[in-house]
Structure 1
Amino acid sequence: MKLRCAVLDDFQSVATEVADWGPVADEVEVVCFSGHFDSEDALAEALAGFEIVVTLRERVPFPGSLIARLPGLRLLVASGMRNSVIDFEAAARHGVTVCGTASASTPPVELTWALLLGLARGIVPESAALRGGGPWQSTLGADLYGRRLGLLGLGKIGARVARVGLAFGMEVVAWSQNLTKERADEVGVVLAASKEELLRTSDFVSVHLALGERTRGLIGAPELALMRPTGYLVNTSRAAIVDQDALLAALRGGTIAGAGLDVFDVEPLPADHPVRTAPRLLATPHLGYVSRDNYATYYGQAVEDIRAFLDGEPVRVLG
């Protein structure tokens, strides 16, 4: 009898399209779920009959309480090689192997610039007006050339965002708690003296930090108050780095010009979530890593992980 494999949150119904599942087809039945399970009870019920689960990034938490409710689970595959929502100790206790996949840094870089440019040039309201018979030109675009781009974080993604900013002729500055002048010089940007200086002097601020105890709530009401009234904030990293309530208050009060968000405190967003009606906000439903090539990597390597597990030689083991 075949093992059963659940693919979670396949919103676009592409998991079996972008990758070849042939290498495991004789031994594994694949079932894709296009909807999101928003409670542990619902997830435990849905996954009760599956030995293998494939989950995307950190969309679905797998705490020890859930793993304990899935006695048949043998393999959990998560895209990416880091995951903060899986209880690895519980997985090990219950005999569950956890594997990862590669993940490209270019898709979130590109989405960062899509949001930043969309904000700067009023792309969404201008397009909606044009298609809906509204006014011909109603916004005044914000220039990029000669303006200052402030980056919170200069890792792999932040460095790529920086290089695009430099190509636009922007002055790029960066700050994080561990950032050195040597790293800033390597990328070709200026090391800001402090987080506060970066926020006070930047025309555009973009967040590219990992979420941890030191970065949780890093940008709150006091920090947002430092930003220029003509400044824009973009967050494609982790929602908890920016205090969402404080950001919504700043947008409603007009103390900053606008924000671009791809990450939220609750995902998927409930229909009545205040983010959906916030002014001066350009928001996307966590699309940072959602690209055809990246999904081909995720699901293609998920198949490899499953095949290796079935052969008794697991690869890309996490935890």
Structure 2
Amino acid sequence: MTEYRLAILDDYQQVSGDYADWNSLAADGMAVTVFSSPFASEADAVHALSGFDVVVAMRERTPFPRAVLAKLPRLKLLFTTGAANAVIDLAAAEEHGVTVCGTGGSPSAAPELTWALLMALARNLTAEENALRAGRWQHSVGSELAGKTLGIVGLGKIGHKVAAYAHAFGMNVLAWSQNLDEATATAAGVRKVSKDELFRESDIVSLHLRLSRRSEGTVGEAELRLLGTSGMLVNTARGPLVHQSALIRALEEGWIRGAAVDVYDQEPLPAGHPLLAAPNTLLTPHLGYVTHESYAQFYGGALEDVKSWLAGVPVRQLTRL
């Protein structure tokens, strides 16, 4: 029997075994190793993974650029949880004979967290809880959502769900993306506007673009200044969509009222990072997909993918555009 080695990466919470029976792969001659801490560098990733045939990557926690793939000659199969992964070089994987597959995912996890953060930011819940624990009562005054305007940047599957939530709360909804057409906006019950109009007219802006070279840096100083001193930003998509230094300045200098952020340029966010000290923030550690339902899809789907590959019929293969 051919022997394979499989690595499960970045299982920070050490829960991969709770959602899939990885021990069942022993019958197929596959040994499984779980890495629960992030690699410090590309060199560390190469050193740790050089002896593995199969790797299961959790979302975009560990990058697989060309430089890494070129140094993993034994790697034959690379899985990502979810249906896309911006930090896997699919062209390089193809050139090096690495099959890349994805999994399903929960359609509700990210939009529900988005709405939780949006509501908590509007009502100052983090500040109020901290004040209450410190012995102060009714520390601030929050804002209602009814009648306010929500601007959605990226009206895809998640953006559509967030728009529906906004309608349920009586909000007006605007949307913009580079490829958004009138028919899609109208079908979602939102008004298509330019990017400048969206940031100028919105009380809250929520980001839902897929990260790419074109979308990186979509929000910078100009957009944050248009959002204004009463405006709020919510980012549960990807950190690099926003110029990080501009966001920190906007918070420190009061260009905007506040920001709720779940995603960062560097993850995990290191101790002492400027965002941790920035005022008027609600920060969460990339929880958009961290639910029981989502993990069941991710790890269960990855195990299914592995077994399909072993049977010679890989499923959910990802290919370069």
- Normalising by structure 1, we get a TM-score of 0.95
Cα displacement (A) at 1:22: 4.9
For 1:87 and 1:229, how far apart are their aligned partners in 2? 40
* Aligned residue runs from structure 1 range 139-178, under 5 A: 139-178=140-179
Aligned partner (choices 95, 98, 102) of residue 96 of structure 1: 98
Q: 2:137 aligns to what?
A: 136
Q: Deviations over 1:56-101 (max 9, x none)?
A: 1122111222122222212111112222221223222332211111
Question: Which AA in structure 1 matches 2:129?
Answer: S
CA contact (8 A) 2:252 2:279 kept: yes
In the TM superposition, structure 1's runs of 4+ consecutive aligned residues that sit over 6 Å from their partners are: none
Q: Pairwise mapping of residues 45-60 of structure 1 onto structure 2 (< 5 A)?
A: 45-60=47-62
* Aligned residue in 2 for 1:189: 190
Residue of structure 2 equivalent to 1:212: 212
Q: Residue 90 of structure 1 aligns to which amino acid in structure 2? A: A
SS in structure 2 at match of 1:149:
strand
Match status 1:24 vs 2:25: yes
CA contact (8 A) 1:23 1:307 kept: no
- Residue 73 of structure 2: SS of its match in structure 1? coil
| 1:154-184 superposed Cα distances (whole Å, 9 cap, x missing partner) | 1110010000010011111111122122111
Matched to 2:261, the amino acid is L
Correspondence 1:287 to 2:287: yes
Question: d(CA) in 2 for partners of 1:91 and 1:82?
Answer: 14
Cross-structure match for 2:129: 127
Distance 1:272 1:72, change over 3 A: same
- Which of 47, 71, 74 aligns to 2:73? It is 71
CA contact (8 A) 1:148 1:170 kept: yes
Q: Amino acid of the residue matched to residue 96 of structure 2?
A: H
The residue identity in structure 2 corresponding to 1:196 is D
Deviations 1:201-246 (A, max 9, x none): 1111101112233322121111111113111001111212111110
- In the TM superposition, 1:31-42 aligns within 5 A as 31-42=33-44
Q: Which SS does the other structure have where 2:175 is aligned?
A: strand
1 CA distance for matches of 2:142 and 2:262?
22
Which residue number in structure 2 is paired with residue 13 of structure 1?
A: 14
Query: In the alignment, is the contact (CA less than 8 A) between 1:172 and 1:190 conserved in 2?
Result: yes
Q: Is the 8 A contact 2:86 2:211 kept in 1?
A: no
Look up the equivalent residue of 2:306 and give its one-letter code: I
Report the AA paired with residue 152 of structure 1: V
Count of equivalent residues: 317
Which runs of 5 or more residues in structure 1 are unaligned?
Answer: none
Q: In structure 2, how many angstroms separate the alpha carbons of the residues matched to 1:90 and 1:168?
A: 46
Equivalent residues of 2:86, 2:212 under 8 A apart = no
Query: In structure 2, what is the Cα distance between the partners aligned to 1:14 and 1:210?
Result: 27
CA drift at 1:128: 2.0
> In structure 2, what is the Cα distance between the partners aligned to 1:230 and 1:64?
44
Cα distance in 2 between the residues matched to 1:222 and 1:67: 38
**TM-score scaled to structure 2, two decimals?**
0.95
Name the structure 2 match of 1:249.
249
Equivalent-residue separation in structure 1 for 2:23 and 2:300 (angstroms):
11
CA distance in 1 between counterparts of 2:84 and 2:316 reads 11
Superposition CA RMSD, Å: 1.4
Pairing 1:313–2:317 present? no
**Which AA in structure 1 matches 2:305?**
D
- The answer to whether the Cα contact below 8 Å between 1:201 and 1:228 also exists between their aligned partners in 2 is no
